[in-house]
Amino acid sequence: MSALNGIRVVDVGLLVQGPQAGQTLADLGAEVIKVELPLMGDMARWIPLSMEDLRTPYFEACNRGKRSITIDLRVKEGAEIFHKLVDTADVLVANFKPGTLEEWGLSYEVLSESNPGLIYAMGSTFGPEGEGANREGADLAGQAAGGLISTTGSDGGPVTPVGATIADHIGSMNMTVGILAALFSRQETGKGQRIDVSLLGGQIYAQASEYTAYLMTGEVPGRSNAGHPLLPMAYGILETADGHIALVGVLPDKREEFYKAVGVPELINDERFAPIIYTTEIRLELFKILADGFKTKTTGEWARILDDMEVRYAPVNDYEQAANDPLVLENNYLVDLEDINGEIKRVVGSPIKMSATPAKPSVQAPELGQHTEEILLEIGLDWDAIGQLREKNAI
């Protein structure tokens, strides 16, 4: 038994924001039908690893365990069959430019008239309201407009985006939360509702503490400077003999032992570093003093030292190091699954652990249109009708 057993999701999302929400629901047990444009499919299918390796990590990561049907929503007959499919669904997931589904006659008002329990989840870049809301964008636009990029790097250096599609991911998680809340609400009311999330809104919410500091003071918190502008303490990144380590604060009762281990015992009597909270300038001075000592030992050696004194830290892993970290593997954050050919593949697992209805990630994404006929037969079409749809290029 899975948490979302019996829930059907129609996913017409593109790239990450919509599809990853559908992926999360699939991991939690929902049946997810991915609707794609005939011959083209999700744009994520066209972002290969390289011109020599045509595997597509964005598509594979966000669409495992779904079934794929091809429907051209721009064609009258395609829109009609899509409407028929959505009538069988609990949830619709999409992240087109605002107004696109409405232009095709597939608005929430139209679809909910025949399916009043429908949860209509829409993702956008900048939100559904206001001037410029219908501008197209992607993850980078969300990071930029939401202020995240302005916080990265160090004072005086160039700004740089986060090296992952973090705005898309946060948007997808917000969409998933909205969908689950709407499903719960529907149990009481019997009615669905429309949900809107955006990359911009997700970025603002993800930085709620930092924005609150700005709203309280009128001052922009500033760059991370290898730490965090609102956490001016022994909190930041230090270079080691073979990499880097994240120091996550040193409590006052640990400082003497810590300073001795780093080779600067005199700091325990330095009044600059006596407070629990420093200014940003004092934090940067402290890290300059600590820098030479940390370079004398490897990350592994520092890990053992900090473990012994119960000081919080983490190694700064690259993907290869994280993928081989026992904590990652033992918690099934990466998991080995068998594909249809009997081969074992390592894939990203679910970060959500549930004791009674555990998430069950799937190993592979569907081929384009792999289940088109199967799904059309399920919703009541016969072979003649399917043939006519093909003749009209609707599927």
pLDDT computed for residue 323 by the predictor: 97
* CA 88/CA 377 separation, integer angstroms: 13
Residue 339 DSSP class: -
Q: How far apart are CA 121 and CA 246, in angstroms?
A: 38
> Percentage of residues in the chain with pLDDT exceeding 90?
95
CA distances from 388 to 85, 110, 326 (A): 17, 25, 54
Picking from 124, 65, 85, the residue whose alpha carbon sits closest to that of residue 394 is 85
Supply the residues annotated as catalytic: 168
Helix (H, G, I), strand (E, B) or coil at 303: helix
Q: What is the pLDDT of residues 299-358, one digit of tens each?
A: 999 999 999 999 999 999 999 999 999 999 999 999 999 998 899 999 999 999 999 999
* Tokens matching residue 342: 């009997």
> What's the confidence (pLDDT) of residue 256?
96
Q: What is the pLDDT of residues 28-58, one digit of tens each?
A: 999 999 999 999 999 999 999 999 999 999 9
The amino acid at 68: S
Give me the phi and psi of 247, to 5 degrees please. -95, 120
Average pLDDT over residues 170-184: 98
Residue 278 confidence class, pLDDT cut points 50, 70, 90: confident
For the stretch 209-247, pLDDT in tens is 999 999 999 999 999 999 999 998 999 999 999 999 999
Q: Which domains does the chain have, with CATH numbers?
A: 8-206+365-391 (3.40.50.10540), 235-316 (3.30.1540.10)
Give me the mean pLDDT over the 269-298 stretch.
93
Nearest C-alpha neighbor of 194 from the set 130, 266, 265, 116: 116
Q: Per-residue pLDDT averaged across 13-27, rounded?
A: 97
Q: What crossing angle do the helices spanning 255-262 and 280-294 adopt, rounded to 10°?
A: 50
Residue 279 pLDDT grade (very low, low, confident, very high; cuts 50, 70, 90): confident
**pLDDT level of residue 277 (50, 70, 90 thresholds):** confident
Work out the number of other CB atoms within 10 angstroms of the CB of residue 57. 11
- The alpha carbons of the chain give a radius of gyration, in whole angstroms, of 25
Burial 274-308 (b: 16+ CB within 10 A, else e): eeeebebeebbebbebbeeebeebebeebbebbee
Instruction: Let me know: does 257 contact 267? Beta carbons within 8 Å.
Output: no
pLDDT of res. 280: 87
The least confident of 275-284, 306-315, 370-379 is: 275-284
